[in-house]
Amino acid sequence: MTGTPIIERIDPELEELMERFFVNSRADLAEMELSLESGDFETLSRLGHTAKGTGYGYGLLGMGEIGKELEQTAKSGDVTASRVLVERMSHYLDNVRVEYGE
């Protein structure tokens, strides 16, 4: 599912890291989906925490916010909310466009 681009403006010094960052983020998303399917909320919470830290750390605020919410819903074992957030993460990764600048 694609839609309107989500624009995130980040530090130009991070540009050379972004390709690998998105490869890793896609791998984490696949693991989130598997964790959700198997009911492994401990792993799902950890992955949400990772997305929160890396998202905010790289300046991808949308990713950081989704990760923060996912960490909390997974800790509480909320299947429905966690599923919505994993879907939001997928949508985010499909639609985010990075612009570099101060």
| Domain 16-100, second-level architecture | Up-down Bundle (1.20)
pLDDT of res. 102 = 67
Higher pLDDT, 3 or 69: 69
pLDDT of res. 3 = 77
Would you kindly state where each structural domain of the chain is located, as residue ranges? 16-100
| Helix residue spans in 1-102 (DSSP H) | 18-38, 41-58, 61-75, 79-95
pLDDT over threshold 90, residue 76: yes
pLDDT tens digits, residue range 5-61?
A: 999 999 999 999 999 999 999 999 999 999 999 999 999 999 999 999 999 999 999
pLDDT of res. 9 = 95
